[in-house]
Amino acid sequence: MTPGASQRIGGLVAKDLAELSRNPGATVPPILTAIAAMVPAFLITIVTPKISGEHVADAQELQRAAQRAAELLPELGLLAPNAQVQAFMFQQFALFLLLVPVVGSMALAAHAIIGEKIARTLEPLLATPISTIELLVAKTSAPFALTLALMWATLLVYVGGIAAVAEPDVWRALVGTRVVVMFFVVGPLISLVSLQLAIVISSRVNDPRSAQQLGALIILPVTGLFVAQLMGGFVVGVNALLAIAAGLAVVNAGLLYLGARVFQRENILMRWK
């Protein structure tokens, strides 16, 4: 990067944020995802038992799964049976919240990049002293920052909701190393994968929705992991999350290489049509 890079990147990021603030449609998919990712946990763990007049701990299978999980997550072991199962369920569903950075990054980046293509505003940008790497950083910074903010806000609402409606201390059992790794290591890395994929896809398609649909493919591994977790009754622990983080870092490195090749001035100008 050359002198003045921070001013150039900052100017473009501020512009992207201003544009997004005037385009609420672009922020709808990530917000809906955040809501959709939170609701099932509360429906299954709190609402359904309330309606049926039972406790989640009455389900023997869930109780056994919670006890097994307590071996991996000691904070669960300190809770009463019903609180333990609730905490187990909320831990399981926490993985679902990782859909927020996936969908958020893809949706916002697709708008930030393809939006420029559609509006034909890329060429004037390329005629300025901004380097392609600065442009790449600028175009991914706003979606990245917004997505992380949304993911952490979702987490806050999730934990706050648990504190409000679940058994006492369930929320405390949630705030541990696992959640920290999940939302402060895996979350940002998965967001970066999604962003970089958006850049690669954006170079080939001209419609933000197409990019989002193609990008939605990376929802599958997250969903798959979640479903496997439920079916198998296991918990993706801290070590597994760190292994996933390492895998994501490798994928990010590969995508960075690919993105840098795709995101060349001449490519953008001549082939991004």
Partner 1 sequence: MAGELVRAQSITRRFDSRVAVDALSFELSAGEILALLGPNGAGKTTTLRMLGGLILPTRGSVDICGERLTGRTAARLRRAIGMLTETPGLWDRLSVRRNLLTYAHLYNITKPRQAVDRALEIVGVLDRAADLAGSLSKGLRQRVAIARALLHNPQIVLLDEPTAGLDPASARHIRDVIAGLRAEGRAVLMCTHNLTEAESLGDRIAILNTRLLALDEPDALRRTLSGTRVEIDVEGAAGDAATIVKSFTAGGLEVRGAKLVLTSVDANLVPDVIAALVRGGIRIRRVTPEQRSLEDVYLALVNEREEVA
Q: How many residues bind partner 1 (CB under 8 A)?
A: 30
Residue closer to partner 1 (CB basis): 115 or 215: 115
Find the shortest distance in angstroms from Cβ 271 to partner 1.
10
- List the interface residues with partner 1, window 2-31 (CB under 8 A): 2, 4, 7-8, 10-12, 14-15, 18-19, 22-23
Residue closer to partner 1 (CB basis): 129 or 232: 129
- List the interface residues with partner 1, window 80-109 (CB under 8 A): none
Find the shortest distance in angstroms from Cβ 158 to partner 1.
32
Find the shortest distance in angstroms from Cβ 266 to partner 1.
5
Cα first-last separation, the chain: 27
CA gap 238, 181 in Å, rounded: 7
Residue closer to partner 1 (CB basis): 231 or 270: 270
Residue closer to partner 1 (CB basis): 56 or 109: 109
DSSP string, 19-62: HHHT-HHHHHHHHHHHHHHHHHHHIIIIIHHHHHT--GGG-HHH
State the amino acid at position 82 in one-letter form.
Answer: N
Question: C-alpha dihedral over 111, 112, 113, 116, to 10 degrees?
Answer: 90
* Tokens found for residue 268: 């953008």
- List the interface residues with partner 1, window 106-125 (CB under 8 A): 119-125
Supply the angle between the helices 238-262 and 132-165 in degrees, to the nearest 10. 150
Residue closer to partner 1 (CB basis): 164 or 269: 269
Find the shortest distance in angstroms from Cβ 9 to partner 1.
9
Find the shortest distance in angstroms from Cβ 121 to partner 1.
4
Contacts within 8 Å (CB) and 24+ apart, 152-161: 152/183, 153/34, 154/34, 154/37, 154/38, 154/97, 154/100, 155/97, 155/179, 155/183, 157/34, 157/38, 158/38, 158/41, 158/90, 158/94, 158/97, 161/38, 161/42
DSSP 166: S
Interface residue with partner 1, options 48, 128, 177, 239 (CB under 8 A): 128
- List the interface residues with partner 1, window 242-271 (CB under 8 A): 265-266, 269-270
Question: Around Cβ 52, how many Cβ atoms within 10 Å?
Answer: 9
Find the shortest distance in angstroms from Cβ 138 to partner 1.
9
The answer to whether 273 contacts partner 1 (rule: CB under 8 A) is no
* Tokens found for residue 216: 């939605």
Residue closer to partner 1 (CB basis): 75 or 134: 134
Residues of this chain that bind partner 1 (CB under 8 A): 2, 4, 7-8, 10-12, 14-15, 18-19, 22-23, 119-131, 265-266, 269-270
